[in-house]
C-alpha cells in the first residue's frame, strides 16, 4: 500500500516512476506522501505507465474531464477525446460519463489509457436508479452508493471524488445564509437532493469509515469533493463553502489514519483577489493535503471563453500553492464539450501549469530553447518546440511573409533581423 510503504520507508516502484517524471529524489517524494502532502493515485487493479504524484512543490498537474452525457452518448468520440488529452500532455483524466452503459464506458477508458483515471461514483449510483421506471436519483439506497464505490475499485479507478462534506451541518449553513447560485456540483446536488428527500445524513459522511475501507482495499485515492463550492463570483468564499472545507479537513485526518491517500477539491468561481486566501485556508484546514482546483473561473460574464477565465485563476492558484488543476473547456456552462473543446481547454490549462513550473525552475530550458530559436529566426526549430505545432504552423501559413526568414507581422522591419544586422557582431548570447 503506497501510503503505508511511504510511512514505513519503503520505496515501491510507484515512487520510482513518479519521481522519475518529476526529476526528484524518490526519497523526497516518499516523505511527501508519508506526510500527506502528496499522493500517488494508483489502484491495485490498474496497470499503467504514466504514474503521477500530485502535491507540494511537484510539477503542477492537469486533469481532463471527459465522458458522455444523457443527451450525447458516443463512446468513439470519448475515446478520441482521450487520445487528444494524452497527445497534449494531460496528467490524468476523469471519466464523468452520465449517459449510456456507464460501466462499459469506464472499463474501455481505463483499458485504453496510460494515465491515472478518476471517477465520481455517485453519478452512476444515482443515474442507474433514475433509469428505472418511476425511480429518481433520490431513490438510490446506501447500498447502491457503496456498491458502486466497490465496483469502481474493482474496475481499477485510481481516484474517486466523494462529496463527504455535504452533510446536515453544511446544508443547515447553506439554508441559513442563502446563495445566488445554490449548489452547482453535480455530485453534491445528488447528495443534497437525496438527503432532503430522505431526511437523512449523507451516507458518505455518516459511514465514512466504510468508504475508507473500500478505498483502502483497492488503494483508491479519495478526492474530497467540494459539493458546496460556489457557482458564481457572488457566492465565492462564503460560509457554506468554508464550513464544508473544515469538515473535509477532518476527513483528511481520518483518511491518513486509515492509510488512505487523500486530496481536497476546491472551487470553482473565485474573484482574483480571493484565490490566494482560498489556497491558504485549504492548506491550513486540511493539513497540507494536495489541493485540486476547478479553474477557478475569475469572472462569470464570458461564457464561451471559460477556458481562459479559468486559466487565469488556475495560474494564480498554482502560484499560491494549488497542486492539481482541472481544465475547463470553452463549452463550460453551455454544452457538452467536443474533441476540439477538449484540446482548447487542455492546452490553456497546460499554459497555467507550465507557467508556474517555470517559477519553480522546472522545465525552463524549453522556453530558453524557444527564445534562442526565435533570435536565430529558425522557424523549423520554433515549430519543433511549440506545444501545438499544427496551430503554430496554421497561423504562420494563414499569412505567409514575402521573405521566408521573418513573419508577416513586421516583414523586413523585423526587430530581430534589424538587431542582428547591426548589433550581431557586438552582442554576446548568454548561457541560460
Residues 214-233 that bind a copy of itself (CB under 8 A): 231-233
Q: Is 148 in the site for a copy of itself (CB under 8 A)?
A: no
Choice from 53, 115, 281, 298 touching a copy of itself (CB under 8 A): 298
- Partner residues linked to 221 by β-bridges: 159
Choice from 83, 99, 206, 378 touching a copy of itself (CB under 8 A): 99
Q: How far from 164 is each of 47, 244, 248, 280, 430, CA to CA, in Å? A: 28, 9, 7, 21, 53
* Cα–Cα distance measured from residue 70 to residue 175, given in angstroms and rounded to the nearest whole number: 30
Nearest distance from C-beta of residue 382 to a copy of itself, angstroms? 7
Residues 368-407 as x/- pattern, contact with a copy of itself by CB under 8 A: x-xxx-xx------x--xxxx--xx-xxx-xxxxx----x
How many CA atoms are closer than 13 Å to the CA of 63, on its beta-carbon side? 26
* Cα–Cα distance measured from residue 334 to residue 338, given in angstroms and rounded to the nearest whole number: 12
Query: Cell for 21?
Result: 517524471
Determine the interface stretch with a copy of itself among 30-38, 50-58, 111-119, 361-369 (rule: CB under 8 A): 361-369
Closest CB to a copy of itself among residues 96, 206: 96
Residues 237-276 as x/- pattern, contact with a copy of itself by CB under 8 A: ----------------------------------xxx---
Choice from 305, 339, 378, 381 touching a copy of itself (CB under 8 A): 305
Query: Cell for 416?
Result: 530581430
Nearest distance from C-beta of residue 346 to a copy of itself, angstroms? 11
Residue with the three cell numbers 502560484: 319
The answer to whether the Cα torsion of 115, 339, 183, 349 is positive or negative is: positive
Closest CB to a copy of itself among residues 63, 221: 63
Choice from 116, 185, 221, 223 touching a copy of itself (CB under 8 A): 185
Residues 15-74 that bind a copy of itself (CB under 8 A): 69-72
* Cα–Cα distance measured from residue 392 to residue 74, given in angstroms and rounded to the nearest whole number: 30
Choice from 197, 277, 280, 284 touching a copy of itself (CB under 8 A): 197
| Neighbour count for residue 181 (Cβ, 10 Å) | 15
Q: Is 342 in the site for a copy of itself (CB under 8 A)?
A: no
Query: Cell for 69?
Result: 452525457
Determine the interface stretch with a copy of itself among 7-15, 105-113, 154-162, 308-316 (rule: CB under 8 A): 308-316
List CB contacts of 91: < 8 A, sequence separation 6 or more. Answer: 50, 52, 54, 61, 62, 63, 115, 116
Asked if residues 379 and 408 have their Cβ atoms less than 8 Å apart, the reply is: no
Q: Is 420 in the site for a copy of itself (CB under 8 A)?
A: yes
Amino acid at each position: 500500500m503506497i501510503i503505508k510503504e511511504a510511512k514505513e520507508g519503503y520505496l515501491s516502484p510507484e515512487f520510482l516512476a513518479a519521481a522519475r517524471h518529476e526529476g526528484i529524489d524518490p526519497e523526497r517524494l516518499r516523505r511527501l506522501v508519508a506526510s500527506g502532502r502528496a499522493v500517488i493515485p494508483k489502484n491495485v487493479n490498474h496497470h499503467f505507465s504514466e504514474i503521477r504524484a500530485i502535491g507540494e512543490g511537484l510539477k503542477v498537474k492537469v486533469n481532463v474531464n471527459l465522458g458522455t452525457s444523457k443527451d450525447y452518448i458516443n463512446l468513439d468520440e470519448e475515446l478520441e477525446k482521450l487520445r487528444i488529452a494524452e497527445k497534449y500532455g494531460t496528467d490524468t483524466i476523469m471519466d464523468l460519463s452520465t449517459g449510456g452503459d456507464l460501466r462499459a464506458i469506464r472499463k474501455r477508458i481505463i483499458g485504453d489509457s496510460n494515465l491515472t483515471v478518476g471517477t465520481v461514483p455517485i453519478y452512476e449510483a444515482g443515474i442507474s436508479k433514475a433509469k428505472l421506471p418511476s425511480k429518481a436519483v433520490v431513490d438510490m439506497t446506501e447500498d447502491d452508493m457503496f456498491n458502486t464505490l466497490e465496483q469502481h475499485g474493482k474496475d481499477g479507478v485510481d481516484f474517486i471524488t466523494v462529496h463527504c462534506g455535504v452533510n446536515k451541518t453544511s446544508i443547515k449553513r447553506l439554508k441559513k445564509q442563502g446563495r445566488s447560485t445554490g449548489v452547482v456540483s453535480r455530485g453534491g446536488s445528488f447528495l443534497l437532493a437525496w438527503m432532503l428527500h430522505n431526511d437523512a445524513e449523507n451516507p458518505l459522511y455518516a459511514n465514512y469509515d466504510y468508504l475508507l475501507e473500500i478505498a483502502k482495499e483497492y488503494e483508491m485515492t479519495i478526492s474530497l469533493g467540494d459539493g458546496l463550492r460556489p457557482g458564481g463570483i457572488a457566492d465565492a468564499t462564503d460560509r457554506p463553502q468554508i464550513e464544508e472545507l473544515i469538515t473535509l479537513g477532518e476527513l483528511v485526518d481520518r483518511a491518513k489514519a486509515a492509510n488512505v491517500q487523500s486530496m481536497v477539491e476546491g472551487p470553482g468561481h473565485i474573484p482574483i483577489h480571493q484565490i490566494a486566501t482560498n489556497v491558504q485556508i485549504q492548506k491550513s484546514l486540511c493539513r497540507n493535503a494536495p489541493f485540486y482546483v476547478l479553474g477557478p473561473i475569475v469572472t462569470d460574464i464570458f461564457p464561451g471563453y471559460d477556458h481562459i477565465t479559468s486559466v487565469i485563476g488556475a495560474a494564480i492558484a498554482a502560484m499560491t500553492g494549488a497542486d492539481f488543476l482541472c481544465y475547463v473547456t470553452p463549452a463550460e456552462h453551455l454544452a457538452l464539450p467536443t474533441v476540439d473543446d477538449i484540446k482548447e481547454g487542455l492546452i490553456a490549462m497546460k499554459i497555467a501549469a507550465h507557467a508556474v513550473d517555470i517559477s519553480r525552475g522546472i522545465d525552463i530550458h524549453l522556453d530558453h530553447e524557444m527564445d534562442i530559436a526565435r533570435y536565430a529566426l529558425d522557424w523549423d526549430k520554433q515549430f519543433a518546440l511549440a506545444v501545438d505545432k499544427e496551430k503554430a504552423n496554421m497561423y504562420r501559413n494563414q499569412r505567409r511573409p514575402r521573405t521566408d526568414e521573418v513573419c508577416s507581422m513586421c516583414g523586413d522591419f523585423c526587430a530581430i533581423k534589424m538587431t542582428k544586422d547591426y548589433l550581431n557582431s557586438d552582442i554576446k548570447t548568454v548561457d541560460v
